[in-house]
Structure 1
Amino acid sequence: MIVPMKKIYVVVQTKDITQALESLRELGSVHVEHQEPLTGFQLEERREEVEILENAIAILRSVKVKESIGQKEAADWTETVNTILELSAEAGHYKESVAKRQILISRWEPWGDFDLQAIRDLASRGVYTQLCAVAKDKGNNVPKGIVLETIFSSSGTDYCLAISEKEMDLPFEKIAFPEAGLKEMIDLQSEEQAKVSRAEDKIKQHLCYLKSLDRTLLERKDVLSFEEVERGMRAEGELALLKGYCPSNACDAIAAKTKHEQWGLLMEDPSPEDQVPTLLRNPKWARLIEPIYNMMNIIPGYRELDISPFFLIFFSIFFGMLVGDAGYGLIFLLMTLAAHWKLGKTMPNKAFLYLTYVLSTVTIIWGLLTGTVFGTLLFGQFFKPILPWLTEFRNVQMLCFALGAGHLTISHGWRFINKIPKPMGMLSEIGWITLLWVAFFLAKMLILGDPFSMLPVYLAAGAVLIIMADIIAQKQDIGVNLFLLFFSVIGVFTDVVSYIRLFAVGLAGVSIADAFNQIALKIGFHNILQAILASLVLIFVHLFLNLILAVLGVLVHGLRLNILEFSTHLNLEWTGMKYEPFKSLERA
């Protein structure tokens, strides 16, 4: 559910701003709405402090060490951070230089080493040299007075050194000498690689300050947040005004605090024009979907609906059908168990892990129902489908259409409840629900080949008339809305049919798995070499290719059906702003 909010105004004397903000921060329940621009040199300094701390911590976290490092306090965090950033920049500079030079070394290794000073000395004595590339069919076109020495050959071309007693004008592709000889480049490469290693070793020596810098980052974020709130307050003479929002159940505590501190306080319901933050408060099981919200950076608007329970239920079903294979579900489950074992103690919020447990389990169940375990060939032949009905393409397609109609029926059923007690609005939603199931039966007739019946046509006509009556009763933009109704009715059919993607994507994954399984079977396991090659094919498809395609399929299709189709029918636009109360991160 979306927690009801109150809009609050707190008035304090300007001399008491610091004390007042500290008290409000201790309460930790006011989402502040800034009324003045957050500009100024001091704020920029604070933001820069947070940025360099985050960069330094990210550098330290990227360092891989086998054993745990003892932690200690950084005497001067700015000096420590600047040292880490300088060392990282130094290592990055030399890494880039080494990478570029390695390309040159690889290019010039076939030529062997050469002394550029000796080449210049020869030229001063009247002996000129030039590197060139000569196609084999043009090797006889050497001008008089020029000697060609082939250094190496590659792809039908001889790479040569041309020697002459005068400056040359060769009819071949000229190759300029590099700025340094091969040995000199290799020596410089070794020197700079050593510099990279030394810089990285010095960075490792700063790992002992990681926890100290983490604490400092929270402290500097608190300072930044405090100064932003202070800067965003509106001040007039001796008074300052803070505007914000708080959950309704926190109002009593705020009122008690303002009364004790003798501040001015006004509480009221938010107006339609207010940008009210959204705070979701759901049962523990429904909160499992919140990592998806965070990943997609979406949240329902304050005046919209919270679909978290339905999102979780249907997303889990869609995930299982899109991945469609018990073998891959088992891999996801094992990966989640490994992540939980390794990272569980350090993760403050394990919702993502528990969500992955649910998704993996649903995938395994769907795979066992259909008898799909790493495809239907090879491994899958040992697993009989628990529900053979699901092995028929027609049945799965019909199930997809039914899921689509049912899923979207929930959205219009929700709208029906919200329109109580408006009779025309309620009838309109019944009309849309009727159209959804008409679309289901039309899909069965037009796509699955069921016998044609006029009943859905009659039902659709009646539903459209009911919806038209509601549009006319509203007396607003009647002509435009009636015109758009035509496209909306067509959209209902396409939305229901679009759920066939659950079948199509799942089938594609199984087909890819079976194709590679067939390749592995043709290679055979008759000897060690064949067994290794066949195993590599299976590992490639089952642990790499199909897993990636499955994740992409879920991100593209599984989320779309909830965020777009379902939300559109519910008039949910995901326009929300996350509730972020003014509180201390350091003390959290």
Structure 2
Amino acid sequence: MIVPMKKLHVIVQKKDIVSALESLRELGSVHVEHQEELSGYQLEERREEVQMLKDALDILGRFECKLQVPQKDTPDWTDVVNDIQKLYAEIEHDQEAVAQREIQIRQWEPWGDFDPGDIGALAARGIYVQLCEVPAGKEALVPEGVILEKVYFASGTYKCLAISRGKIDLPFDAITPPPSGLGQMKTMQVEDQAKIRGAEEKIAGLRCFLDSFQEIMVERENVLKFEEVEKGMRAHEELALLKGYCPGDACGAIAAKAKQEQWGVLFEDPSEEDSVPTLLRNPRWVEMIKPVFGIINVLPGYREVDISPVFLIFFSVFFGILIGDAAYGSVFLILTLVFHHKLKHKVKDAAPFMLMYVLSASAIIWGALTGTFLGTVLLGAKLKPVVAWLTVSKNVQLLCFTIGAAHLILAHLWRCVRRWPGSGAWAELGWVWILWVSYGLVKSMIILGQADMAVILNALKMMVPGAALVIYDIARGPKGQIPVGIVLLLFSIISAFTDIVSYVRLFAVGLAGTAVADAFNQMALSIGFNNVVSGVFTSLILVVGHAFNIVLCGFGVLVHGLRLNVLEFSGHLGLEWAGFKYEPFKKIKQS
């Protein structure tokens, strides 16, 4: 659920700003809304400090040390950070030089090693040497007085030296000599690579300050946050105002602290114009869906609805159908168990692991229902489906359409409850009827193959009562908008039909995953396990093929499983995901 918030204003004397902010930070429940622009030299300096430390930690994280480095405090963190950034800049510069030079080495290796300075020395003595590329069969075009020495041949072209007593224009592509010879380039390459290794070793040696930097960064972030809140307060004469939002259940603690510290405090309900942050609180079993919202970076607006329970239930079903294989679900389950065991002391929030347990179970259950384990070919008749009905394509399509209709109808029923008792509630019931009729039309046209005009016209007639309820709601609006509303209604009815049809993607993607799995299975079985070599190749094909397919199925979940919740369902519910996160002013602690 979305936690009800209160807007609060805290008034303190200017001389008490620091102590008041320290007390509010200790409470850790006020989402501050800045009243003044967060600018100024001091804030910029703090931001630069935090960014420097983040960059340094990022660089240190890239250079692992084979041996455990004893941690120690840094005497002057700014000097060490500057050294790290300087060393890393040198590494990047040298790596770019090495990469560019490697291209030149490959380009000039066919010419062999020579000193480009010799070409200038010979020219000073009246002997001109030009490098050129001559297409095969064009050697006769060499001007008189030019000796053509072939050095290398590749791709129908000779790399040549054109030698003459005077400077003669050649009818071929001339090549500019390199700045240094091949041998010298290779020597420079070795030297730069040694410099890179040396700089990397120095950075790895500075990992002894890793813990110290993390502590300092947390401290600097706290200072920055504190000064931003202080800067964002509105001051007038001897008073200062802080504005923000807090959960309704936190008002008591804030009021008690205000009384103790002798602040002025006002709590009020947010107005329609206020930008209120969103705080979600759900039962423990629902909380596991939070990581998904974090990954796709969406949050319902404060005045919208929290669909977390519905999202979790339907996303789990979608995951099972899209992955569609008990073996793949088992792989996800085993990997989750392994990572959960290894990271249980490092990762405080177990929600991602709990979610993966549920999703893995969903894939295993669907695979068992359909008899799919590493595809359908590998085990063949040995694995019987629990529900044979699900092995028929038309039946699975019907199930997908049924899930889609139920999903979208639920959205409009939910919207009906929210709009009750207004006329908009009746419009939502009208949409429920339209969706139900659309579901029947989809079933007739796609499952039963009855795509004639009579079926379509009959469905349109059946939609009339639902459309009438929607038009009734439109008619209660501005008179000038009624024709536009009716036209838009026609498009919306078509859209509702196609939205139900779009749930067939669950069947299509799941079927594609099974088809890819079976293709690799057949490829592997065609080689067989007749001997050691064939056994190795067969095993390799099975492992690589199914690993590749698991990745593809994962992408299918990200694209289609999320879309049906975030776009189709949310669109029918009127959910715009317009929220932003509730971030209370509190002390950051080192993780």
Structure 1 Cα separation of the partners of residues 483 and 461 of structure 2: 24
What residue is the counterpart of 1:325 in the other structure? 325
Instruction: Rate the CA distance shift 1:69–1:357 in 2: closer, same or farther, 3 A.
Output: farther
What residue is the counterpart of 1:46 in the other structure? 46
Structure 2 Cα separation of the partners of residues 376 and 34 of structure 1: 60
1:4 aligns with 2:4: yes
Q: 2:541 aligns with which of 527, 537, 544?
A: 537
Give the gaps of 5 or more residues in structure 2.
none
What residue is the counterpart of 2:138 in the other structure? 138
Structure 1 Cα separation of the partners of residues 521 and 134 of structure 2: 49
Structure 1 Cα separation of the partners of residues 241 and 388 of structure 2: 68
What residue is the counterpart of 2:520 in the other structure? 516
> Taking every aligned residue pair, what percent have the same amino acid on both sides?
54
Instruction: Rate the CA distance shift 1:441–1:65 in 2: closer, same or farther, 3 A.
Output: farther
Q: 1:58: Cα distance to partner?
A: 1.0
Deviation string, structure 1 residues 244-289 (Cα, Å, up to 9, x no partner): 0000110000001111111111111111110011100011121111
Q: Comparing 234-243 with 379-388, which one deviates more in the overlay?
A: 379-388
Q: Comparing 388-397 with 328-337, which one deviates more in the overlay?
A: 328-337
Q: 1:458: Cα distance to partner?
A: 4.7
Q: Comparing 226-235 with 373-382, which one deviates more in the overlay?
A: 373-382
What residue is the counterpart of 1:370 in the other structure? 370
Q: Comparing 53-62 with 458-467, which one deviates more in the overlay?
A: 458-467
Query: What are the residue-to-residue correspondences of 1:103-182 with 2, within 5 Å?
Result: 103-182=103-182
1:491 aligns with 2:495: yes
Query: What are the residue-to-residue correspondences of 1:286-435 with 2, within 5 Å?
Result: 286-379=286-379, 382-422=382-422, 424-435=423-434
Give the gaps of 5 or more residues in structure 1.
none
The one-letter amino acid of 2:198's match is: R
Q: 1:554 aligns with which of 549, 554, 557?
A: 557
User: Is the contact between residue 372 and residue 380 of structure 1 (CA under 8 Å) also seen in structure 2?
Assistant: no
Q: 1:586: Cα distance to partner?
A: 3.2
The one-letter amino acid of 1:434's match is: W
Q: 1:68: Cα distance to partner?
A: 3.5
User: Is the contact between residue 56 and residue 81 of structure 2 (CA under 8 Å) also seen in structure 1?
Assistant: yes
Query: What are the residue-to-residue correspondences of 1:77-92 with 2, within 5 Å?
Result: 77-92=77-92
3-state SS of paired residue (1:338): helix
Structure 1 Cα separation of the partners of residues 28 and 333 of structure 2: 38
1:24 aligns with 2:24: yes
Structure 2 Cα separation of the partners of residues 548 and 145 of structure 1: 65
The one-letter amino acid of 1:418's match is: R
Q: 1:169: Cα distance to partner?
A: 2.3
User: Is the contact between residue 371 and residue 380 of structure 1 (CA under 8 Å) also seen in structure 2?
Assistant: no
What residue is the counterpart of 1:195 in the other structure? 195
The one-letter amino acid of 1:469's match is: Y
What residue is the counterpart of 2:568 in the other structure? 565
Instruction: Rate the CA distance shift 1:307–1:21 in 2: closer, same or farther, 3 A.
Output: same
Q: 1:529: Cα distance to partner?
A: 4.3
Query: What are the residue-to-residue correspondences of 1:70-81 with 2, within 5 Å?
Result: 70-81=70-81
What residue is the counterpart of 1:479 in the other structure? 483
The one-letter amino acid of 2:571's match is: T
The one-letter amino acid of 1:461's match is: V
Q: Comparing 213-222 with 136-145, which one deviates more in the overlay?
A: 136-145
3-state SS of paired residue (1:265): strand
Deviation string, structure 1 residues 218-247 (Cα, Å, up to 9, x no partner): 111111111111111111111110000000
3-state SS of paired residue (1:7): strand
Structure 1 Cα separation of the partners of residues 150 and 543 of structure 2: 46
Q: 1:379: Cα distance to partner?
A: 4.5
Structure 1 Cα separation of the partners of residues 88 and 558 of structure 2: 35
Structure 2 Cα separation of the partners of residues 482 and 502 of structure 1: 32
3-state SS of paired residue (1:206): helix
Q: Comparing 385-394 with 480-489, which one deviates more in the overlay?
A: 480-489
Instruction: Rate the CA distance shift 1:387–1:267 in 2: closer, same or farther, 3 A.
Output: same
Structure 1 Cα separation of the partners of residues 581 and 381 of structure 2: 49
Deviation string, structure 1 residues 340-364 (Cα, Å, up to 9, x no partner): 3443322232322222222222112
What residue is the counterpart of 1:439 in the other structure? 438
Structure 1 Cα separation of the partners of residues 127 and 381 of structure 2: 77
Instruction: Rate the CA distance shift 1:366–1:380 in 2: closer, same or farther, 3 A.
Output: farther
Structure 2 Cα separation of the partners of residues 313 and 234 of structure 1: 46
Q: 1:570: Cα distance to partner?
A: 0.9
3-state SS of paired residue (2:372): coil
Query: What are the residue-to-residue correspondences of 1:253-292 with 2, within 5 Å?
Result: 253-292=253-292
Structure 1 Cα separation of the partners of residues 170 and 459 of structure 2: 84
Structure 1 Cα separation of the partners of residues 106 and 76 of structure 2: 45
The one-letter amino acid of 1:437's match is: W
Deviation string, structure 1 residues 494-523 (Cα, Å, up to 9, x no partner): 111110111111112222222233333334
1:470 aligns with 2:473: yes
Deviation string, structure 1 residues 152-201 (Cα, Å, up to 9, x no partner): 22122222222223223222222221111011000100110011001110
Report the count of equivalent residues: 586
Deviation string, structure 1 residues 310-363 (Cα, Å, up to 9, x no partner): 111111111121122223223323333333344332223232222222222211
User: Is the contact between residue 3 and residue 280 of structure 1 (CA under 8 Å) also seen in structure 2?
Assistant: yes
User: Is the contact between residue 214 and residue 590 of structure 2 (CA under 8 Å) also seen in structure 1?
Assistant: no
What residue is the counterpart of 1:214 in the other structure? 214
Q: Comparing 167-176 with 561-570, which one deviates more in the overlay?
A: 167-176
Structure 1 Cα separation of the partners of residues 130 and 458 of structure 2: 88
TM-score norm. by structure 2 comes to: 0.94
3-state SS of paired residue (2:290): helix
The one-letter amino acid of 1:82's match is: N
Q: 1:22: Cα distance to partner?
A: 0.8
Instruction: Rate the CA distance shift 1:13–1:498 in 2: closer, same or farther, 3 A.
Output: same
Deviation string, structure 1 residues 406-462 (Cα, Å, up to 9, x no partner): 11122122122223344x444332222122221111101111126676875554222
3-state SS of paired residue (1:345): coil
Q: Comparing 348-357 with 270-279, which one deviates more in the overlay?
A: 348-357
TM-score norm. by structure 1 comes to: 0.95
The one-letter amino acid of 1:462's match is: P
Instruction: Rate the CA distance shift 1:337–1:110 in 2: closer, same or farther, 3 A.
Output: farther
3-state SS of paired residue (2:8): strand
Structure 2 Cα separation of the partners of residues 381 and 140 of structure 1: 73
The one-letter amino acid of 2:103's match is: I
User: Is the contact between residue 374 and residue 380 of structure 1 (CA under 8 Å) also seen in structure 2?
Assistant: no
